[in-house]
A and B are shown apart, each in its own frame.
Chain A
Amino acid sequence: MIAPLYKLGYFGFDTSLIFAFIIGLLFGYILESSGFGNSRKLAYQFYLKDMAVLKVMFTAIVVAMVGLLYLNWAEILDISLVYVPPTILNGQILGGVLMGLGFVIGGFCPGTSLVASAIGKLDGMFYVGGALFGMWIFGEIYPFVQNFINGHPMGRVTLPEWLGWRPGVVAFLVILMAWGLFKVAELIEKKFGEIIEGETPME
C-alpha cells in the first residue's frame, strides 16, 4: 500500500495545501468545461431538457468508485484510510430536501456557483452571497437545532457493510443502475431535449 499519500505521511499539512490548490484548479476547469457555470444548463436537468448533471455526476461516481476498488484490490491504496462521509440520517434527509429546493430556486450548487462567479455570471455571484449568508444563519441557529440535525447518527457506514454484500457486488449494481439511468436520460433527451451546448459570445 503506497496511498493515500497524505495519510501515510509522504508530506505534511502545509504541503497538502499546494495539492488542494492544484486539485481545485482542475476541479474548477472541469466543472466550467462541462457547462456547469451556466445555471440554465444545470436547472434544465429538472425540467427534463438537458440531463448533463446526471450524466456527469454518475459517470464520475462510477469511475472513481471502480478506481478505488481496483486500487484497493491491487494493494496500492488502502481504502480504509479514505474519508467516507459519515451517515447521520436526520441531517442528510433534511439537508437533501433543502438542497433540492435550493437547487431549483438558485440554479446552482455551491461548487458550480463559484465557477459561474469566476467567469463573470452575476446570478452566480448573488448565489455565492446567498450561500455565505445562509451558512452564517445556520451557524447562529446551530445551538437550537443541533440535537435534531445530528439525530440518528450511524457513523462511517458504507452500502456494502450495511447490506452485508461484497463491495464488488454493490459496485456492479451501481454501474448497472448508472447505465440504466443513462439510457433513460438519453430517451428523455430525445423526447423533450433542449440541450444547451455552449455560451453565446458576449457583446
Chain B
Amino acid sequence: MKKPQSKPYWNPYFAGLMLGLLLLMTFFIMGRGLGASGGEMRLVTYILSLVSPEHAQANPYFAKYLKGGSPLKAWLVFEILGVLFGGFLSGYIHGRLGFKTDHGPRISNKGRWLLAFLGGMTMGIGARIARGCTSGQGLTGGATLSLGSWIFLWVMFIAAYAFAYFLRKQWI
C-alpha cells in the first residue's frame, strides 16, 4: 500500500466561512457560542474533587463548578470531547497523524516542550481571568458584538505582537 501523503490545509477564507457557519448553527441550536477553556476548567475541578473533595468545596471558584451533580456533565465538556475526536478524524483523513513536535530551527524539542507547558500555564490563567479563551471570547463574543470581547480580542492580538520579539528564537 502506498503511503498517504498529507493533504494541504484548507484555504483560510474557506475555513473561516465553515467556522462562521458552525458558530451560527451553534447560536441557532443552543443560543450560545463555542468554547474550550471552560470545559478544561471543569476537568480540573473534577480531578481536584477526586483528589481532595473538601478542598475543592471550600474554594469558591471550584465550588461553583461542583454545584448540581458531576462537573463533567456539562455542555462544554461534551463539546471539547467532540473537538478532540473531530481533530483526530481530520488528522486521520488528511494523513496528518503522528507523534511530532513543531518548532523553529533554533530550539530543541525539549526546549519547545518546556515553553509549551509554560505558555499553556500562562494561557490557562489568562483564560480564566478573561472568562473565556480565543473561542469563547474571541469567536463568540466577536460575532455577538460584545464590547468586552472586542476589547479583549484587540488586547490579545497587540500583546502577542508586542511579546513576539522576545520569543523569536522559538519560532523563526
Q: State the interface size on chain A (CB cutoff 8 A).
A: 136
Q: Is there contact, CB below 8 Å, between B116 and A71?
A: no
Q: Is there contact, CB below 8 Å, between B167 and A138?
A: no
Specify the chain A residue showing the minimal Cβ separation from B142. A61
Q: Specify which chain A residues have a CB less than 8 angstroms from the CB of B116 in the assembled complex.
A: 39, 106-108, 123-124, 126-127, 130
Chain B 122-140 interface 0/1 with A at a Cβ cutoff of 8 Å (1 = within)? 1111111111111111111
Let me know if B106 is at the binding interface, CB within 8 A: no
Q: Is there contact, CB below 8 Å, between A202 and B97?
A: yes
**Looking at chain B's contact residues, is the secondary structure mostly helix, strand, loop, or mixed?**
helix
Q: Is there contact, CB below 8 Å, between A23 and B87?
A: no
Min CB–CB distance B78 → chain A (angstroms): 4
Q: State the interface size on chain B (CB cutoff 8 A).
A: 131
Q: Is there contact, CB below 8 Å, between B97 and A120?
A: yes
Instruction: Select which of B19, B160, B172 is within 8 A of A56 by beta carbon.
Output: B19
Q: How far is the CA of A200 from the CA of B84 in the complex (A)?
A: 21
Chain B 91-122 interface 0/1 with A at a Cβ cutoff of 8 Å (1 = within)? 10011111111111000010011111111111
Q: Is there contact, CB below 8 Å, between B87 and A37?
A: yes
Interface residues of B in 4-24 (CB under 8 A from A): 4-10, 12-13, 15-24
Tell whether A24 pairs with B3 under 8 Å between CB atoms, given A58-B16, A107-B116, A133-B124: no
Instruction: Select which of A85, A102, A124, A133 is within 8 A of B141 by beta carbon.
Output: A85
Q: Is there contact, CB below 8 Å, between B119 and A35?
A: no
Q: How far is the CA of A5 from the CA of B143 in the complex (A)?
A: 19
Q: Is there contact, CB below 8 Å, between A24 and B120?
A: no
Q: Is there contact, CB below 8 Å, between B16 and A63?
A: yes
Q: How far is the CA of A33 from the CA of B127 in the complex (A)?
A: 24
Specify the chain A residue showing the minimal Cβ separation from B19. A60
Q: Is there contact, CB below 8 Å, between B113 and A126?
A: yes
Let me know if A193 is at the binding interface, CB within 8 A: no
Q: Specify which chain B residues have a CB less than 8 angstroms from the CB of A154 in the assembled complex.
A: 147-148
Specify the chain B residue showing the minimal Cβ separation from A132. B44
Q: Is there contact, CB below 8 Å, between A27 and B82?
A: yes
Q: How far is the CA of A75 from the CA of B104 in the complex (A)?
A: 50
Instruction: Select which of A45, A112, A118, A160 is within 8 A of B91 by beta carbon.
Output: A118
Let me know if A97 is at the binding interface, CB within 8 A: yes
Q: How far is the CA of A26 from the CA of B91 in the complex (A)?
A: 13
Let me know if A184 is at the binding interface, CB within 8 A: no
Q: Which of A116, A120, A149 has the most CB of B within 10 A?
A: A120
Tell whether A28 pairs with B82 under 8 Å between CB atoms, given A40-B171, A87-B146: yes
Q: How far is the CA of A131 from the CA of B38 in the complex (A)?
A: 11
Specify the chain A residue showing the minimal Cβ separation from B32. A83
Q: Which residues of A contact B (CB under 8 A)?
A: 3-7, 16-35, 37-41, 43-47, 49, 51-52, 55-65, 67-68, 71, 77, 81-89, 91-124, 126-140, 142-143, 145-146, 149, 154, 156-162, 167, 170-171, 174, 182, 196-202
Q: Which 6 A-B pairs have the closest CB atoms?
A: A106-B119, A24-B82, A95-B130, A59-B16, A63-B20, A134-B124
What are 19 of the A-B contact pairs (CB < 8 Å)? A29-B90, A31-B86, A47-B172, A52-B12, A57-B142, A87-B147, A88-B148, A91-B129, A92-B149, A92-B155, A94-B129, A104-B171, A110-B124, A133-B124, A136-B48, A138-B128, A139-B48, A140-B59, A159-B145
